[in-house]
Amino acid sequence: MKMTMVIRIHKLSRPFSLLPLSLSSTSLFSISHSHSLTLRTPRRRFHSTPLSTSSFMASSRFRNLVHLNAIVSENGGAGGGGSNGSVSSSSAVASTEDDEDSVLGVGYRLPPAEIRDIVDAPPLPILSFSPYRDKILFLKRRSLPPLSELAKPEEKLAGIRIDGQCNCRSRISFYTGIGIHQLMPDDSLGPELEVHGLPDGAKINFVTWSPDGRHLAFTVRIDEEGGSSGKLRVWVADVETGKARPLFQNTDIYVNAVFNNFVWVNDSTLLVCTIPSSRGDPPKKPLVPRGPKVQSNEQKNIIQARTYQDLLKDTYDEDLFDYYATSLLVLGSLEDGTVKEFGPPAVYTSLDPSPDHKYILISTIHRPYSFIVPCGRFPNRVDVWTTDGKFVRELCDLPLAEDIPIAFNSVRKGMRSINWRADKPSTLYWVETQDGGDARIEVSPRDIVYTQSAEPLESEQPEILHKLDLRYGGIYWCDDSLALVYESWYKTRKIRTWVISPGSLEDNPRLLFDRSSEDVYSDPGSPMQRRTPLGTYVIAKLKKENYDGTYVLLNGSGATPEGNIPFIDLFDINTGSKERIWKSDKETYYESVLALMSDQKEGDLNIDELKFLTSKESKTENTQYYILRWPGKTASQITNFPHPYPQLASLQKEMIRYERKDGVQLTATLYLPPNYDPAKDGPLPCLIWSYPGEFKSKDAAGQVRGSPNEFASIGPTSALLWLARRFAILAGPTIPIIGEGNEEANDRYVEQLVASAEAAVQEVIKRGVAHPDKIAVGGHSYGAFMTANLLAHAPHLFCCGIARSGAYNRTLTPFGFQNEDRTLWEATSTYVEMSPFISANKIKKPILLIHGEEDNNPGTLPMQSDRFFNALKGHGALCRLVVLPFESHGYSSRESIMHVLWETDRWLEKYCSSNASDLGQDGDKNKEEGNAAADSAGKVVAGSGGGGTESSSPDNDGFYSIQRSFLW
């Protein structure tokens, strides 16, 4: 059962990729179901929230592991593909020279060349290591897609979007080619072997290694006449020769990739989700409906749901969902080309072979469907089959889950997190809640972890592995003598790690770590894993001469008041003693250990034979990858990627600390243009780009996150692009909203927001780098919400604002938003006072609103920007609304991105670079009103921390967000 690592750590042995989300991460890598290690080259770095409510280990460097196939997403494409390139659609693109300031319909525009050239730089490839670490793939990417691709028809069903032509998720990007490199004994790369034999124009997705590392499997699609994409077919390639061929000789067998696509069941056999050949044409929408749309709650059930989008609307949508989501499973052999049907057609959502490849865990969803929740809450059945297609048993059939409480840590009733033990051939484990899934109910234990063999004897009952008083958060497996179990609780930010002996349950569990997930300084790190003979990954044990302890490697981000200093500790599980055997060079470089490479041999590892994959970067040197070997700790560089934007190679970066007026320490990263000298050049126009974060503790909020030596990664819509326009950029200043004890943070949201912004503005002015009348503020999603509130409640601080894809009226998200889990009726004043829509009459400074017309993010419906704009316009505010056709919560097409950059640059040039104090006769009055508003906010009792971030799984407002505040 495939689950994202954002939620559970126990799936490290399955097909995951690490999106570059964490403050400590420098790259992408995965320990995959194909037993490979996948890295993403560091073109862009995103930051995640300090604590995701669904994450059991938010402070862990592994908290952002995501299934490799999950990278194929609307906002990122395959492996995060989708970058930069030329316009190939028929959309009009105007030059920047035309003066269209007063015209609403300006067509698509291009930003100045100094910005455009950075965005159009060719993307770097994604790297993927073979299961035995002897070969590396270079997965080549295209540039930013044209708008015409986004304009293709899509079906919005059950919370997902489907490309009916390809029968996969819509808007997926792709790789354009695969290069294979041998990793030589001296840790250098051999010459590239190009995978060949593919059709011209092949679009490649879902690249996976076979368990033995001898073959690659992937899907291929090609454009058909008229520009539409063809359906996906499975291809395989021989790694030694690079020769590629279709898996199936029958060219009418297509992949259904709406949920899953294919998995390796052994070294030479694939189980593939295919489109049933007999399904016919899609159902047609009846001209006359079968009846009225009726929803009823005559049983008086309490059902609260956030503002999900793209839900099923009627019985026609249900039929259409079944049509596209139903798959027929087939087994395909690489050896003889045979094809065998596997089970009946169904909506298969997960295929997970056991470590010994004898069984496969299969999940399906079925009717009755729902019109108020997405498909993840539909009835879900989990079965065990043999890998040759024989049904073994049903594990569970969970009912429709419309009634999961909105309180954080609430879960679905019944069996959940069903997976294979990584240390056993075919043993299952799962979790069952004891509180009915309702986090508001006090009960002990709250969760119980069970384990059982795949085919138990008739009298064999599930065995209790561990009982938890907090919510289960995942397991690191090792062997019968050792496993680490995690539990956490969002309200208190508590996270615990337990040591258990799975083979000796009479041994009492021992509490290893008990800490606050907000306290990054106390994060001990996560255990490093090694590959087993079965191809799974378990905790790596080490042996040390003359010592009999049980040693593991803890890999941590090393947060300190001076910034992150990643480390590797040799940790004795039994005594708790540790020895730091490696740490990053904190003076000049930011280095990080990404994976253990010396894991091919069985048994405990020898400390003198360790080999790691590491990354290294500095403020001005982009990330490169290395092999680090013991005992001499010698590092060999294996990549030599060019600087992605040499025109900004000498930009100036400084991690700064400053204090809010209540004494809480705040942090930010200050970027200055190349060759800028404040003494000679004077203050600059400044753009502050951020994202608020919630904390339970002032001390935790004031902790430093990130490293001053990290390379300044610039995404296609990054605020850092304006360094090329001679702006000072204050990136990610912490905007902590703190609720200590029983206090809820949002009850003093505006007060704390304004105090944090005041401190940031005062700091850049004090440093002489920002002109006090030329400071703009901006943000994406919850950062847009922040921007609008600051212009309403602190107009004296900023000359203008840029708000993208935000929500501005919290009464339209009545059942919780972001990290607020009280309803509108439980916290009416909070909802109203936090909503900048209610304060639209106070906004006097220019505000630019941008929104994707097809935003699918819960909470940020496009009407939020439309209604907010009308409210502003109704009070005579200087405002502009830009709605991007076909774009979702994050923007992906080149035309749209370039136009967003043009709009932003125009806004900043007109209302920030020019003298902000000359905007109108109301300027002085605005300052006076702003000062009065700040004074009326009262005493500030707040803190700092993890600002400038957005979550990768739906954040608590449901934001399926582009991850960092820099990547707007």
Marked catalytic residue, from 781, 888, 913, 951: 781
Q: Which of 871, 814, 867 is closest to 839 using CA atoms?
A: 871
Amino acid at 84: N
236 and 204 Cβ atoms separated by less than 8 Å:
no
Amino acid at 668: A
CA distance 217 to 133: 18
463 and 451 Cβ atoms separated by less than 8 Å:
yes
Tokens 């304060």 correspond to: 839
Amino acid at 514: D
Amino acid at 965: S
Q: Could you confirm whether 855 is annotated as catalytic?
A: yes
Instruction: Measure the CA angle with vertex 484, ends 492 and 68; round to 5°.
Output: 90
Q: Is 932 exposed, middle or buried (0-12, 13-18, 19+ CB in 10 A)?
A: exposed
CA distance 390 to 31: 29
Marked catalytic residue, from 47, 466, 889, 899: 889
Q: Which element (helix H / strand E) includes 324?
A: helix 315-325
Quote the tokens at residue 33: 């179901």
Using alpha carbons, list the distances in angstroms from residue 704 to 59, 666, 734. 13, 8, 10
- Strand (E) positions, 354-414? 359-365, 380-386, 391-398
Residue 315 three-state SS: helix
**What is the SS3 assignment for 91-159?**
CCEECCCCCCCCCCCCCEECCCHHHHHHHCCCCCCEEEECCCCCEEEEEEECCCCCHHHHCCCCEEECC
92 and 698 Cβ atoms separated by less than 8 Å:
no
Q: Could you confirm whether 781 is annotated as catalytic?
A: yes
Determine how β-strand 215-221 pairs with β-strand 233-238. Answer: antiparallel
**Which residues, including other chains, have CB under 8 Å from residue 896's CB and lie 6 or more apart?**
108, 147, 150, 852, 884, 885, 886, 887
- Compute CA 322 distance to the chain's CA centroid, rounded to the nearest angstrom: 28
CA distance 869 to 880: 7
- Compute CA 141 distance to the chain's CA centroid, rounded to the nearest angstrom: 19
At residue 390, φ and ψ (nearest 5 deg) are: -105, 130
182 and 333 Cβ atoms separated by less than 8 Å:
no
Q: Could you confirm whether 438 is annotated as catalytic?
A: no
Q: Which of 226, 218, 113, 107 is closest to 172 using CA atoms?
A: 218
Q: Is 583 exposed, middle or buried (0-12, 13-18, 19+ CB in 10 A)?
A: middle
Marked catalytic residue, from 163, 310, 773, 855: 855
CA distance 965 to 705: 14
Q: Which of 665, 690, 703, 660 is closest to 517 using CA atoms?
A: 703
Amino acid at 363: S
**Which residues, including other chains, have CB under 8 Å from residue 839's CB and lie 6 or more apart?**
789, 792, 793
Crossing angle between the packed helical segments 749-766 and 923-936, to the nearest 10 degrees: 120
The residues annotated with a catalytic role in the active site are 781, 855, 889
